[in-house]
Amino acid sequence: MPESDHEVAMEDSFSPTSPDLVVIPVEENQSTTCMPIRDPYMLKFLDKVEPVIKNNWLDTGIVNLAMKILKLQHPHIGGLYCSTLGGSLEFPGATGQQWLQIVHDGANHWLLIAKGFSLPEHVLVYDSSPGVNVRQHVLSCMASLLQTPKRTMTYIVKGCQKQGNSFDCGVFAIAFATSLANGQDPSEIMYDPAKLRDHLRTCIDTELLSPFPSTYCRPRNRGEKIQSTDVFCYCRRTDYASDCKPASLEMVACDIRGSNCVLWVHKMCDDTFPVESNDSEWYCKNCVPR
Ligand SMILES: [Zn+2]
Ligand SMILES: [Zn+2]
């Protein structure tokens, strides 16, 4: 199910250190697509898990379940949040030296973003079907997770194996995440596409994600691209410069622009956001504490 069909109900607060993993599967006869669970830090919702068959596009249920298993096996790895949070750009900041997150790009495609692996300074993107540029939706999710204090977010699109069809993105994203969690660099691995789904089924059945079948190593850094984008606001996210930008992500500029100034602030991130653009001068709370 596309993420746009999900309704996300954020709770007022969450504990980024909570170890609880409380998952309530949605029963078949329930009409709602999502349901809240007690701990919003981890898996707030879990769609019904559809079986992995020969050629289905993986739904959010199986992707979330895979991330839940990985989190239980590797509790020191941050991120691995419920992917549904990305649909409304509400990922909390990822914690820990290393983090992983499978992200839906808003257009029926899954990819993996990661930090703390191989090039620990930068966010890494592992995409089995990359476009010319990383989509704005993914960049906004990435910035939500990273929350860099810098004015620019640098990320590296890693060269990795490409899917040979239109439906294997989720399988590859899970395989990439599993490799990283087990100390392997997916850019050095050639997976065996014919065996990935059988392996995933076994992993789900045993609730243990082990490295996916691979045949040989590929050269490092093949096709690697270093890119960057500006981030803004107290939330340190992108401006989401897209035709479908939500109104809540409109921004206003601070009129002082001091040394601690965030320059631009999202409407959703400051209650004092001016109603009209021609209102009198406006200052961000870094420049004029309130
Ligand atoms: Zn913001
Ligand atoms: Zn300011």
The pLDDT score that the predictor gives to residue 257 is 78
Instruction: Return the pLDDT at 62.
Output: 93
**What is the model's pLDDT at position 22?**
39
DSSP line for 196-256: HHHHHHHHHHHT---PPPEEEE--TTTT-EEEEEE-BTTTTB----STT--GGG-EEE-SS
Find the mean pLDDT for residues 1-14: 34
Phi then psi for 249, rounded to 5 degrees?
Answer: -100, 10
CA 135 to ligand 2 center in whole angstroms: 28
| The predicted structure's pLDDT at residue 29 | 36
Taken in order 242, 244, 262, 18, is the CA torsion positive or negative? negative
| Mean per-residue pLDDT, 4-12 | 33
What's the rounded mean pLDDT across residues 165-190?
A: 95
pLDDT at site 274: 67
Q: What pLDDT score was predicted for residue 244?
A: 63
The reported pLDDT for the residue numbered 68 is 92
Q: What spacing in Å lies between the alpha carbon of 113 and ligand 1's midpoint?
A: 21
- Answer whether 180's CB lies under 8 Å from 120's CB: no
Q: What is the mean pLDDT of residues 238-259?
A: 76
Residue that wins the pLDDT comparison between 126 and 243:
126
Q: What is the mean pLDDT of the chain?
A: 80
Q: Which pLDDT score is estimated for 275?
A: 62
Q: Tell me: pLDDT of 2 over 60.
A: no
Least confident piece of the model among 49-53, 111-115, 162-166, 229-233:
49-53
Per-chain residues with Cβ under 5 A from ion ligand 2: 254, 256, 261, 284, 287
> In the prediction, which pLDDT does 281 show?
82
Give the pTM: 0.81
- Residue type at 260 in one-letter notation: N
What confidence tier does 20 reach under pLDDT thresholds 50, 70, 90? very low
For residue 42, what are the β-bridge partners?
Answer: none
Q: How far is the CA of 281 from the centre of ligand 1 (A)?
A: 19
Percent of the chain with pLDDT over 70: 78
Question: What pLDDT, on the 0 to 100 scale, is given for residue 245?
Answer: 63
Q: What is the pLDDT of residue 243?
A: 60
Q: Which domains does the chain carry?
A: 3-230 (3.40.395.10)
Q: What is the pLDDT of residue 240?
A: 76
Rounded mean pLDDT, 59-82: 93
Q: Measured in angstroms, how far is the CA atom of residue 94 from the centroid of ligand 1?
A: 16
C-alpha of residue 237 to centroid of ligand 1, in Å: 6
- Distances in Å between the Cα of 20 and the Cα atoms of 90, 159, 241, 282 are 19, 35, 36, 41
Question: Tens digit of pLDDT for each residue in 71-119?
Answer: 999 999 999 999 988 887 888 899 999 999 999 998 999 999 999 998 8
Mean pLDDT value of segment 153-169: 94
| C-alpha 287 – ligand 1 centre gap (Å) | 16
List the structure tokens of 204: 């789900």
What's the pLDDT score for residue 32? Answer: 33
pLDDT for 13 equals 32
Cβ partners under 8 Å of residue 45, min gap 6: 6, 8, 26, 34, 35, 36, 37, 64, 82, 84
Q: How close is the Cα of 252 to the center of ligand 1, in Å?
A: 10
